[in-house]
A and B are shown apart, each in its own frame.
Chain A
């Protein structure tokens, strides 16, 4: 019966440990009256830092860290950034547990992310009910902000993003294929994950509507060898559209296209915008930002980030995270002013989101949210062509 005694003992320990782990109030300034704007506020960043899409989160976190280091003093705030990891391999479920964690933390006034569309879907209701604004720098799935009769809205009014959705990217890419590349036959390959499938769907819709013949293939998310897919690309196909969040995969695909002597041009989405990896000459990539390195207003920011992250290359996922921090800080500042120094309810931040204006936004131009949806106003996608020296040239 030593067993049972040990069991009970361990139980007490385990329960005690769990209770202690979660019960500890992290914000001492959080009182029933509200959150003091002078106290340290927490902004969690829910993003995949590990796993197959880990490169997205890793890059985003470096930018968010840089933003939290440099920006809050301009807004008169003190901010602590915590990172919640949601590796794509485990599906969106971890995002749900994290949501409970951040809702319970009273010092959390707003949230960055979730970075992947699946994680948004899994957790947005919880954040909405708790009144926490969550602003994603990379979840582009159309249905997150726009509901149509066939595709119900998946997001909630508390979900925002500072990058345009796939409903802009997909048609933009498709129009480019039709108008500039005069494509008659297009092969679309999706990667069986929410980002890829969503983008492939909208692009396919535009293409079919314009009378382009579309072949749709679907690769399991464990695929690494695309030989069979390349074989299935007809020799007279003009374009292969392959939205993926793993740049090395589209690079491999391009190499195998060349290996098999297929003439089709390769076209990637924002997820494959990585000049250090995807460099098949003559291919196209779309992205929600023009080349950040080329915007004069961003020069100081880029230089500062590079100093903090020696050896890292400038990618496309990080800068929107910087911008997202900027937007959140402004919204919190507006709330603090309206609430006279004490945020009474986290919901108040939500009320001020749409009043945010950023003059020199990191992605170029001025930033404000659309009045109809929680998307940026007038955002557009840019299309690049890969040159023979591997550089990306803006073509549309």
Chain B
């Protein structure tokens, strides 16, 4: 039972981060119908921005501000930095290709992903970076927390999971309850029609990239609070995030959240009960099963081909 609870907590931690990444994919795919391969690397850059700001504020062993403020500042900085990065990528690598054949932006995105990962390696090296949150007030984030049975859900996990969910709720409001969000949904439904209705498509797309990339930045920090980050995590993070988005139904916001959690649970339980080695195989099987039986994903709508 303890193992089960522990694995469930693991799954929620992992899944909420996957969900945040998946949201970025799904938002961009919604409005641009573009598989943004570089998204995983934006996530990676986010975790590094967080690391840099953390060092500027004195590091974890000797922070110059209270812990809560430290965490908030680090997360906000990563979100802002990633938002800028996302907009730059969109402006220079995708916008010129908006009317090109669909393979063009995909290849360009591959190029951006490769460029970002290697640029980061060039500048900051490939060694893993540890936020070392353990040093914050003598390990309080690890040692304090909620006890369920014999399992301690540490403060850090509570922070990670709850921040992820708060961000998702904020996103849901932005998309469903604001004018810009409405414009986004309209664009995603039919870009041409939306343009004819007087929606500024460029603005909507920039806004989408700001949202998606900021979420990736936040996910990067939440991820790196617990485990070391390296310049090469972008590939795996992107792969998992996109798989989550596809499973949940690409283009659907709730779907991305559900997909992320499904992936988190699948990985965690496989590692806990079956084998630590084969979790990729299980996730791949789930992906293939969805491709065969429900290609539109869990909550996506089936695509109607217009002739």
Contact = CB atoms under 8 A, between A and B. Distances in A.
Contacts of A53: 126
B228 A258 contact: no
Nearest to A56: B127
Given A224-B229, A226-B227, A277 B130 contact: yes
B114 interface: no
Contact of A228 (B7, B142, B154): B7
Q: How large is the interface on B (under 10, 10 to 19, 20 to 34, 35 or more residues)?
A: 35 or more
A252 B228 contact: yes
Contact of A89 (B3, B128, B232): B232
Given A220-B277, A255-B134, A255-B142, A231 B6 contact: yes
Given A248-B228, A249-B228, A252-B228, A231 B10 contact: yes
Contacts of B125: 50, 54-55, 58
A50 B121 contact: yes
Interface in A208-254: 217-220, 222, 224-229, 231-232, 246, 248-249, 251-252
Interface in B146-203: 150-152, 154, 156
Interface string B254-275: 0000000000000110011000
A227 B11 CA distance: 10
Nearest to A189: B276
Contacts of A232: 271-272, 276
Interface in B1-52: 3, 6-7, 10, 13-14
Contacts of A219: 276
B280 A259 contact: no
A219 B228 CA distance: 15
Interface residues of A, number: 34
Nearest to A217: B276
Interface of B: 3, 6-7, 10, 13-14, 121, 125-130, 132, 134, 139, 142-143, 150-152, 154, 156, 226-230, 232-233, 236, 267-268, 271-272, 276-277, 280
Given A222-B236, A227-B14, A259-B143, 13 more contacts: A55-B126, A219-B276, A220-B280, A224-B229, A224-B233, A225-B227, A229-B271, A246-B128, A252-B226, A252-B227, A255-B142, A259-B154, A261-B150
